Structure 1
Amino acid sequence: MKQILFFAAMCISMFASAQIGKRFPSERKEIKDPVTGARLVFLTSTPGGDSKIYQTHNQWTSDGEWLIFRSSRTRGEAMAVNEKTGEMVQVTEGGYTGMLNIARKSMKLYFMRMPERDTARRTTTDTTRRRNQIPLQIVEVDLAKVFADSKAGKMQPVHIYQRICGTIPIELEGGGDMALDGDEEWAYFRVGKNAAAKQLAAGTKPADNFGPRNMGAGPNGIAAMNVLTGEIKYVVSVPFQIGHIQSNPWMSGEIVFCWETGGKSPQRTWTVKRDGSGLRPLYPEAAYEWVTHEAVIGKDEVAIAIMGHRKIGGVDTTGTGVGGANPGQDAAWGPSGTREKPTGLAIVNLRTRESYIAGQTKSGSGLWHVTGSPDGRWAVGDDFTRNIYLIDRHTNEMMLLSAGHKTTAADHPHPTMSDDGTKIQIQSAMLSADNRSMNICIIYLPEEWLKRKYK
């Protein structure tokens, strides 16, 4: 009996400590970059299992005051941190799966989750069973209410803050990435192989796996849910594995996604309209090009990385000696990714289909994860050594903005630029004693570059 009571108390304690609105003390630390002198603000600075939202998605709330991130500070829940004060607040309860989507027009957060989540009692077998038998929900969080009530210390029941937008039909096998449309009425999600096969154009042969990671086989599809009504619409099926679904926040009904292989793809980048029309390669690539990490950066533009990380005449780690720590060193990827042809951070225009190279490092891996400002002024990229480079697109100048973020880090920086083009969010292990744990960091652009005037 004592054991039963103890277990019950543990469960109650776990759920009590996992409540939405729970506050955490500030860990904010401001330092100068030890290499470049840039202003860095670490919004988290202890090993809390932090990681930023992927660079294809928005990071800041619509009021510009909070950043949403993933963390282990409360198991399986999302956190928000105030950029000025460093205060942290738990903003989900009941867990989430896949991508966190922050609205730009309202103080809302959207994500997918498995209903009736019970982290205290779920086993591996339970997880598998539930994933196969229970369809995913799309959930909306009213962030303004969460922040206000949390600050006042008067949190209400979780249903006051979280609303179930709808349930994805189980036959769609929904999951993976999710993206909020620019109109913030529709959310896009990936559709599984069996469901996608039923919508695949007649005579289309599903792709096989590509590359040494044995990924990329299809078919997959994209569907959409109206977050106001719960209505479901099917968008498109393709013969390959879909990854990194993202919307164009400035152009409603426009979707960008990729053929995911874990490395080089036969044709990486794709775009399609919400009604299923206009399916085409975004940047038609040659066999010698290694295209990766596309990100919509403005109404008409997508940034992509055309990698130049492999030795001409053979695969190599570009002299870094990091072995298998970075992708692309396996000969099974083929001949792509060398600098025999132009490489670097490329900008592709969605309307004219024109593209150009905005910048490239002189040596090393080249730019890898890429981003830019919506006004077309800046482009940003990281490299294999976790350095962050800033490119002035008006003058074509490139500077090393920040360095020293440790190649031993658990993940890559994944830079994302703010909509006002004055700062960049990354994840970094610079402050970590174990050289691996990631923290949320803001890099502020140098004032002398921000004050530049152009003719």
Structure 2
Amino acid sequence: MKKTFIFTILLSVLIGVCEVKSQIGTRFPSERKVVKDSVTGVDLIFLTSTPAGDSKIYPTHPQWSADGNWLIFRSNRVKGEAMAVNESTGDIIQVTEGGYDGMLTLARKEMRLYYMRKLDVGDMEVVSIDLAKLFADSMTKKLKTKSVYETIHGIVPKAIGNGGDMALDAEENQIYFKTNKEESAKHLAENVSIEPIFGPRNMGAGPGGIASMDLKSGEISHVVSVPFQVGHVQTNPWAANEIIFCWETGGKSPQRTWTVLADGTGLRPLYPESEYEWVTHEAVISKDEVAMAIMGHRPVDFGTENPNESSAANPGQETSWGPSGTREKPTGLAIVNIRTREMRIEGQTESGSGLWHVHGSPDGRWAVGDDFSRTIYLIDRNTKEMKMLSTGHKTTAADHPHPTFSPDGTKIQIQSAMLSEDDRSMNICIVSVPEHWLKRTYDQVFQ
């Protein structure tokens, strides 16, 4: 009886510890360390450095809090919860409680984090966190219950929603999210032909759609329906009511990039592509520009040898993707102007896969990309000079580096397995633009 009593007490204590550990605002010790890239000599600032299942927000969305001091990221430090790390001090703070689904979405005008959270019935509630209040209370060790920091803006019913992929409008008064096939079909014209699957991943079939939610009233409105699978919904953070999205197939699409306005007008391909172009990983980088990769990862004589072989280190080799992705046509890091519709290729690696995940600085000076080897390349958009910025991030990593510029255009966030003993677990890392590049002056800066 005594042993049972002691065991019960110990169990209660352990449960209590777990509950405290999962509370919003819980702090974790700094892991910040600076590592010099052994090849390029560039300092890599690892804001996390333990194998805790870290991964950054996707490059389509903001990474830094509105004050520029904190980066939000996913982590298994507390399974299913999101974290923030202070770039200067390395302090790590838990910023959600009760889980989240899909995209973590940071506001730029105020210290607020938006996300969706699944309810028991399968509906999704749209939640935001007052980061300023949370960080202040965490620092002073005066944490309150999560309801003090949370605002519930509305519910996306299971009957219309399609996961937690969402984006915040530039005015920060509404969010956009994907709708499921049934809901999307209701708003599609009868004479529109539904697209079938495309490529070996059996993805891409329609219909798909986008809806919006007013963050004050919770009112939901339909934006647009299309005859294909919708993916990577993002907004232009500098232009209200402007949405960018893609035809998602898991690889090459017949027409990858699309744009539409919040009222459903203006639907068009962002960059009209041919069957010979493999366009992917589009990201809004400034008020008028979207960066994207035109892949050059297949041999010119593609299809003559091992046509169906593909791997994590050399993906996209299956013949069912079609004839695109070779360097018989122009490839590289491309930037398209939303207003003029003009496209420029800013650079491309001399060999290998070519640039894969791409981004750029809002001031128009820099572009950045990674390749299949997980090497990071920086491009000066004025001179077209390309520099290997960092390498050694391991092709065995759980994901790709996904380089993303800071709002001030002086540094790049990546995720890296460089420090991982298992060669897979990633950490959050900052790479600065070299000081002598930042000091360059030009007669003209392209914007």
Shorter chain as denominator, the TM-score bin is over 0.9
Name structure 2 gaps, 5 residues minimum. none
**Inter-CA distance 317–110: structure 2 relative to 1 (3 Å threshold):** farther
Counterpart in the other structure of 1:69: 73
Q: 1:425 aligns with which of 413, 420, 431?
A: 413
**CA apart distance, 1:384:** 0.3
Q: 1:395 aligns with which of 366, 383, 390?
A: 383
Counterpart in the other structure of 1:212: 200
Q: 2:48 aligns with which of 44, 51, 71?
A: 44
**CA offsets, 1:235-280, max 9 Å, x none?**
0001111110000000010000001101100100000000000000
Asked if the contact 2:356/2:371 (under 8 Å) is kept, the reply is yes
Asked if the contact 1:425/1:443 (under 8 Å) is kept, the reply is yes
Counterpart in the other structure of 2:95: 91
**CA apart distance, 1:326:** 3.6
CA distance in 2, matches of 1:310, 1:62: 40
Asked if the contact 2:310/2:316 (under 8 Å) is kept, the reply is no
**CA apart distance, 1:284:** 0.4
Q: 2:149 aligns with which of 147, 155, 161?
A: 161
* 1:448 counterpart = 2:436: yes
**CA apart distance, 1:331:** 1.7
SS at match of 1:264: coil
* 1:103 counterpart = 2:107: yes
CA distance in 1, matches of 2:388, 2:241: 36
CA distance in 2, matches of 1:206, 1:5: 60
Amino acid at match of 1:381: G
**CA apart distance, 1:300:** 0.3
**CA apart distance, 1:229:** 2.1
**CA apart distance, 1:356:** 1.1
**Inter-CA distance 443–173: structure 2 relative to 1 (3 Å threshold):** same
**CA apart distance, 1:11:** 4.6
SS at match of 2:24: coil
CA distance in 2, matches of 1:5, 1:255: 54
Asked if the contact 2:84/2:94 (under 8 Å) is kept, the reply is yes
CA distance in 2, matches of 1:351, 1:214: 34
SS at match of 1:30: strand
Counterpart in the other structure of 2:35: 31
TM-score (norm 1): 0.93
**CA apart distance, 1:6:** 7.3
**CA apart distance, 1:108:** 0.2
**CA offsets, 1:56-82, max 9 Å, x none?**
110000111000000000010000000
**CA apart distance, 1:162:** 0.7
* 1:357 counterpart = 2:361: no
CA distance in 1, matches of 2:89, 2:13: 34
Please show how residues 314-353 of structure 1 align to structure 2 within 5 Å.
314-315=302-303, 323-353=311-341
Asked if the contact 2:66/2:108 (under 8 Å) is kept, the reply is yes
Asked if the contact 1:263/1:327 (under 8 Å) is kept, the reply is no
**CA offsets, 1:341-379, max 9 Å, x none?**
000000100001010101011110000000001111111
* 1:179 counterpart = 2:183: no
**CA apart distance, 1:324:** 4.5
Name structure 1 gaps, 5 residues minimum. 116-129
Counterpart in the other structure of 2:25: 21
Counterpart in the other structure of 1:53: 57
Asked if the contact 2:25/2:143 (under 8 Å) is kept, the reply is yes
CA distance in 2, matches of 1:6, 1:280: 62
CA distance in 2, matches of 1:356, 1:40: 30
Asked if the contact 2:24/2:146 (under 8 Å) is kept, the reply is yes
**CA apart distance, 1:94:** 0.8
TM-score (norm 2): 0.95
**CA offsets, 1:290-331, max 9 Å, x none?**
00000000000000100000011225999xx98453420112
**CA offsets, 1:56-114, max 9 Å, x none?**
11000011100000000001000000000001000000110000001111000000011
CA distance in 1, matches of 2:164, 2:280: 18
CA distance in 1, matches of 2:139, 2:328: 57
The share of aligned pairs that are identical, in percent, is 65
**Inter-CA distance 7–174: structure 2 relative to 1 (3 Å threshold):** farther
* 1:237 counterpart = 2:225: yes
Amino acid at match of 2:411: K
Q: 1:269 aligns with which of 257, 260, 281?
A: 257
Amino acid at match of 1:278: G
Counterpart in the other structure of 1:119: none
**CA apart distance, 1:12:** 4.1
SS at match of 1:170: coil
Please show how residues 289-328 of structure 1 align to structure 2 within 5 Å.
289-315=277-303, 323-328=311-316
SS at match of 1:189: strand
Amino acid at match of 2:189: A
Asked if the contact 2:420/2:426 (under 8 Å) is kept, the reply is yes
* 1:113 counterpart = 2:117: yes
CA distance in 2, matches of 1:248, 1:142: 23
**CA offsets, 1:30-56, max 9 Å, x none?**
121111111210000000000000011
CA distance in 1, matches of 2:410, 2:28: 27
Asked if the contact 2:313/2:372 (under 8 Å) is kept, the reply is no
**Inter-CA distance 107–199: structure 2 relative to 1 (3 Å threshold):** same
Counterpart in the other structure of 1:118: none
